[in-house]
Amino acid sequence: MGDLVELSTFKLTQRTIPLKELRKWKLFNTIGDSFLENVRVAHAHKQFGFLVTTDDNVCAFGTGIDGSLGLGSIKQASTPIKINALCGQTVKEFVFGNTGNQCFAITADGRVFGWGINSNGLLGIGTDDKTISTPTLLKFDEGVKIAQISVGLCHALALSLDTAEVFAWGHPLGVGSDIDLNKPCKITTNLQNIKVKQISCGEFTSFVLSESEDVYSWGYNKEGQLGIANTASANVPTKLVIDKLIKKIANGHKHTLLLTTSGQIYVCGCNAQGQLGTGNTTNLSVPTKLSANLGFIDDISVMADQSSAKSANGIFVWGKIYPNGIFTSPTKLDSNFSTFPHPPAIFGGTEQEGRQTPVLETLENAIDGAGTDVEFKVEGDLIRVHKAILTLRSDYISRKFSRDWKQQDNPIELQNIKRDTFYALVYYLYTDKIYFSDIELAVTYCDTGLKRKCESVLQKQMALENVFTLYTAAGECDAQNLRDAALNFAVVNRKEISNSGLLDTADLSIQDLKKFMKAWAEK
């Protein structure tokens, strides 16, 4: 769960991963603190993983097969070993194939390296060699920079950064014929002039999400996983007929989850293991709304025959949760995974000691829970809360209850605010944590603590592509700390901004940059 980091971020930052986060992975527990304290990118997969340090060294660690470590003939590394071909390349992300035997690294400037098993040309490096044991550069059209990669069982997709176009290789279909491709080929049929923002691969399927929130799919369709209202395979992108705007796609081996912009889940495909969460094991060839009441869904994730969803109400899982059996309906994970004697594989199989639930975790589950005495209606959705908690935690809301809301019927209907924005406020007042960095929210509700936290989150997400927008928004919201941070970010990265094409000049002075940003914000 979670979103792709902007391409420029790793090039411009040296932030490291907290040591306590890395220690959650058993794979890294034998590596010393002095090494891990300088790690900025980490990726663990089964028995091996990769680490990128702040001085841009890339190391492999653990046990791999078929060249998956990227270290030539070396199959096991008890201590991190440098992958020379990737050192100094500003690697920002690693992507694995379904079997874990195909590995890809994406750099901050949009290049892609591949290594491992090359069946069906799956590595896309232009050769039919069965195994590639060292990272090799993929060749795309001149000037193409890659933002995302998704890998199926025998094929892969790539999404270009600047043009939002889709490339495929391996055994991809989508090119109008059923042939293997050992190098990237642009998908044009039915995607001409379509800007794509997400790509996703199932076992033998491909999906893309356009900037207008439309979904296109192609590939094998025996179980209805394409969601095109039949079970016939499609060798070109086919638009799904669904009357909802989609913001994320997640694919399992043979099933598909679609997350709408309104926080709902639609499902289709194979349901033999209950992975659609419909309460039965019937396959669906038409995207069908999941009826379970999970609250407003923030994110979805799929692995093999498992599905999961995250909302402010908690994390829910369903499907084949080995070794606990089959769950045909979404089941909530409690704080210590006691619902499942052995945690689902989608959460890394991390074992937790039995413990009492902390107060904040109790409050986190109290929203819409027992004892609520006030309801808010926002965008047609009801949010049930405890009046005492809200009035105790917020002077502003306390005044609203004593004035504007004093004579209102229950539920209290709120206008001109989004449901997820208001829920984020409630979640913060209950838990002192934020999951939705909306600076407008903090200003509107006059909460200084929330405002500071939102500013902090937005500062961490700052990149070349959004620095001007954040600078302008900070001025409108009187968020001076964020505004200063955006200006400092722009000054530090002045040369990159000058060369990025955002401005007409290739040599921008600091004074001119400040004038430009001020003028931009006043537009």
Does pLDDT of 343 surpass 50? no
CA distance 255 to 269: 4
Tens digit of pLDDT for each residue in 490-506?
777 777 766 655 555 55
Tell me, what CATH number does 366's domain have?
Answer: 3.30.710.10
Report the run of H or E that residue 390 belongs to, with start and end. helix 387-393
CA distance 295 to 302: 19
What would the DSSP string read from start to end of 270-326?
A: --TTSTT-SSS---EEEEEE--S---SEEEEEEETTEEEEEETTEEEEEEEETTTEE
Q: Is 155 helix (H, G, I), strand (E, B) or coil?
A: strand
- Specify the pLDDT at position 140: 93
pLDDT band for position 322 (50/70/90)? low
Q: Specify the pairing of strand 246-251 against strand 255-260.
A: antiparallel
Q: Within a domain: residue 275?
A: no
The answer to whether the beta carbons of residues 207 and 216 sit under 8 Å apart is: yes
- 361 and 426 co-located in one domain: yes
361 vs 396, higher pLDDT: 396
Q: Indicate the Cα dihedral angle 25, 28, 29, 33, nearest 10°.
A: -120
Q: Within a domain: residue 366?
A: yes
> What is the residue whose two structure tokens read 């605010």?
417
Q: Within a domain: residue 380?
A: yes
The answer to whether the beta carbons of residues 60 and 71 sit under 8 Å apart is: yes
**Domain end marker among 392, 417, 445:** 445
Q: Indicate the Cα dihedral angle 420, 425, 430, 431, nearest 10°.
A: 90
The answer to whether the beta carbons of residues 467 and 461 sit under 8 Å apart is: no
- Specify the pLDDT at position 10: 33
- 366 and 436 co-located in one domain: yes
Does pLDDT of 283 surpass 70? yes
The 10 Å CB-count burial string (b at 16+, else e) for 454-488 is bbeebbeebbbebbbebbbbbbebebeebbebbbe
Number of Cβ atoms within 10 Å of the Cβ of 183: 15
Does pLDDT of 482 surpass 80? no
Tens digit of pLDDT for each residue in 345-380?
333 322 222 223 333 444 555 677 666 788 888 888
Q: Within a domain: residue 457?
A: no
Does pLDDT of 84 surpass 90? yes
Sheet holding 412-414, edge to edge: 381-385, 374-378, 412-414
Q: Within a domain: residue 399?
A: yes
Mean pLDDT of the region 332-344: 52
**Domain end marker among 385, 414, 445:** 445
- 365 and 426 co-located in one domain: yes
> What is the residue whose two structure tokens read 């792709």?
4
> Is the preceding omega at residue 330 within 30 degrees of 0, hence cis?
no
Tens digit of pLDDT for each residue in 43-77?
888 789 999 999 999 999 998 888 899 999 888 89
> What is the residue whose two structure tokens read 């598909």?
256
- 382 and 441 co-located in one domain: yes
- Specify the pLDDT at position 9: 31
CA distance 28 to 49: 9
- 366 and 410 co-located in one domain: yes
191 vs 509, higher pLDDT: 191
Q: If you average pLDDT over every residue of the chain, what do you get? A: 79
CA distance 158 to 141: 12
Highest mean pLDDT among 26-30, 112-116, 304-308, 346-350: 112-116
Does pLDDT of 453 surpass 60? no
Q: Within a domain: residue 369?
A: yes
Beta bridge partners of 76: 63
- 478 and 517 co-located in one domain: yes
Does pLDDT of 130 surpass 60? yes
**Domain end marker among 445, 478, 495:** 445
- Specify the pLDDT at position 207: 95
The answer to whether the beta carbons of residues 275 and 224 sit under 8 Å apart is: no
Overall number of domains in the chain: 2
Burial level of 118, CB count in 10 A (0-12/13-18/19+)?
Answer: buried
Tens digit of pLDDT for each residue in 14-24?
578 888 878 87
- 401 and 426 co-located in one domain: yes
The DSSP secondary-structure symbol of 27 reads G
Q: The whole model's pTM is what?
A: 0.62
- 440 and 486 co-located in one domain: no
- Specify the pLDDT at position 389: 75
CA distance 103 to 136: 11
Mean pLDDT of the region 101-126: 92
Q: Residue 64: which residues within 8 A CB-CB, separation 6 or more? A: 47, 48, 75, 76
Mean pLDDT of the region 106-129: 92
Q: Within a domain: residue 393?
A: yes
Does pLDDT of 471 surpass 60? yes
Domain hosting residue 384, numbered range: 356-445
Q: Within a domain: residue 391?
A: yes
Highest mean pLDDT among 33-42, 93-102, 430-439, 471-480: 33-42
Tens digit of pLDDT for each residue in 413-435?
888 777 777 877 787 777 666 55
